[in-house]
């Protein structure tokens, strides 16, 4: 009997899981993607939207036609509840039954954790999704009319440090390109115990190399700090210091989406899905999770709480593993384990006109055998090339490519 595989989420993990599941199962399964957004967005390029270096159409494509070409159905809907007993998603368009479910959602952005943080009920900008990046772009245009101090940071509990580092380096580069760098101080603040920690306890030489970038471009760094509250023109730090700003972008901590938090037994208290090394739910054998939705605890505590990053590369690997294990289960084959902490981490950190590449064979450093940190002026061109490649690969369903 044909199985029904439903993938909740249409980004890195979700599309990888959907395309791989359909390719492996062919007519043995119907694959359905449920997404609250009609577009796939290449999130790493949102930092370039703010200064106007990318348009929406440059970094997005429509999900429905891309998936339909491979026989995958798309439902654009907001999910409000998951019933693991009945094997049903509840959406604002009705119920969606499943035989297998892959939870591959993005995060809920917890701006409320710091008073005054966020673009809606607060005073700071965000580049965590496309609408926020467009709002940050509008705020940037207004800022340029009267430049002044810029503060970029990652709040306590944040996990997406790479985007923050890229943003502060690119916004500093934007000031130089516009010839107004002397009109603005630029400050980076972070909950990491040291700069270049990245939520993974750093890479060999990362603290020194990030420090060189900051020194070269006159960016002040304030690590190992929390944010107490934010007013329209000041960020109060846990140390008691007040940072004035005219433009601020702060990465918030992430939580699981509301639908998971409203579905008892599906996620933990934070809304993350706890899985085994097959990416299978600890209680429900037909539920899998991949990407940001997966619960991961930092094995090494930090003085100020930090989260574990789940990069686009990691999300792809998890999505692929979940799809392959679902296919194996349907075909009666053995599932293959892969601990999230054993996934290789790869990152191109763009600095506007240069950057660095980070490669480690394991996310966390205790058992690493390989750590590569390569600064180069070629990294900016490398990220542009990767942007084009990844959008082509994903739009055409070639998720089997590296």
Length of the chain: 402
List Cβ neighbours of 59 (8 Å cut-off, separation of 6 or more).
Answer: 41, 42, 45, 46, 48, 49, 387, 391
Whose structure tokens read 């390719």? Answer: 23
Instruction: Say how far apart CA 241 and CA 94 lie, in whole Å.
Output: 50
* Buried b / exposed e along 217-247 (16+ C-beta atoms within 10 A): bebebbbbbbbbebeeebbbbeeeeebebbb
Helix (H) or strand (E) holding 374: strand 371-375
| Cβ-based neighbour number of residue 368 at 10 Å | 17
Instruction: Say how far apart CA 309 and CA 12 lie, in whole Å.
Output: 14
Catalytic status, residue 87:
no
- What sign does the CA torsion over 149, 352, 252, 366 have? negative
Catalytic position from the list 87, 136, 347, 379:
347
Cα angle 269-18-270, degrees, rounded to a multiple of 5: 5
Do residues 164 and 251 lie in contact, with contact meaning Cβ atoms separated by under 8 Å? yes
Catalytic position from the list 7, 46, 136, 160:
160
Catalytic status, residue 347:
yes
Of 245, 254, 67, 74, nearest to 154 by C-alpha is 254
Just list the catalytic residues: 160, 347
């Amino acid at each position: 009997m044909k199985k029904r595989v439903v993938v909740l989420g249409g980004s890195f993990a979700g599309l990888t899981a959907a395309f791989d599941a359909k390719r492996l199962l062919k007519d043995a399964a119907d694959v359905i993607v449920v997404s609250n957004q009609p577009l796939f967005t290449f999130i790493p390029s949102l930092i370039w939207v703010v200064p106007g270096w990318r348009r929406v159409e440059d970094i997005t494509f429509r999900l429905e036609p891309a998936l339909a070409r491979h026989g995958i159905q798309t439902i654009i809907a907001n999910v409000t509840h998951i019933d693991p007993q009945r094997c049903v998603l509840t959406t604002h368009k009705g119920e969606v039954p499943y035989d297998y479910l892959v939870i591959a959602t993005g995060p809920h952005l917890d701006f409320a954790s710091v008073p005054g943080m966020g673009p809606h009920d607060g005073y700071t900008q965000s580049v965590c999704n496309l609408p926020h990046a467009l709002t940050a772009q509008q705020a940037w245009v207004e800022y340029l009319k009267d430049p002044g101090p810029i503060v970029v940071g990652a709040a306590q509990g944040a996990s997406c440090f790479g985007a923050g580092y890229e943003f502060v380096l690119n916004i500093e580069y934007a000031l130089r390109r516009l010839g107004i760098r002397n009109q603005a101080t630029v400050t980076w603040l972070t909950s990491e115990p040291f700069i270049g920690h990245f939520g993974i306890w750093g890479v060999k030489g990362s603290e020194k190399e990030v420090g060189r970038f900051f020194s070269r471009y006159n960016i002040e760094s304030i690590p190992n700090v929390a944010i107490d509250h934010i007013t329209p023109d000041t960020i109060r730090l846990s140390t008691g210091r007040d940072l004035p700003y005219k433009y601020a972008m702060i990465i918030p901590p992430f939580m699981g989406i509301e639908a998971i938090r409203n579905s008892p037994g599906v996620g933990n208290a934070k809304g993350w899905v706890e899985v085994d090394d097959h990416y299978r739910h600890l209680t429900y054998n037909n539920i899998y999770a991949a990407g940001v939705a997966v619960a991961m605890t930092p094995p090494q505590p930090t003085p100020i709480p930090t989260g574990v990053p789940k990069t686009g590369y990691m999300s792809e690997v998890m999505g692929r593993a979940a799809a392959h294990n679902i296919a194996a289960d349907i075909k009666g084959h053995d599932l293959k384990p892969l601990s999230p902490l054993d996934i290789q981490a790869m990152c191109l950190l763009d600095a506007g006109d240069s950057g660095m590449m980070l490669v480690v064979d394991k996310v966390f450093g205790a058992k690493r055998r390989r750590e590569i940190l390569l600064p180069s002026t070629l990294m900016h061109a490398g990220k542009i090339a990767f942007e084009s490649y990844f959008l082509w690969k994903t739009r055409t369903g070639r998720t089997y490519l590296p």
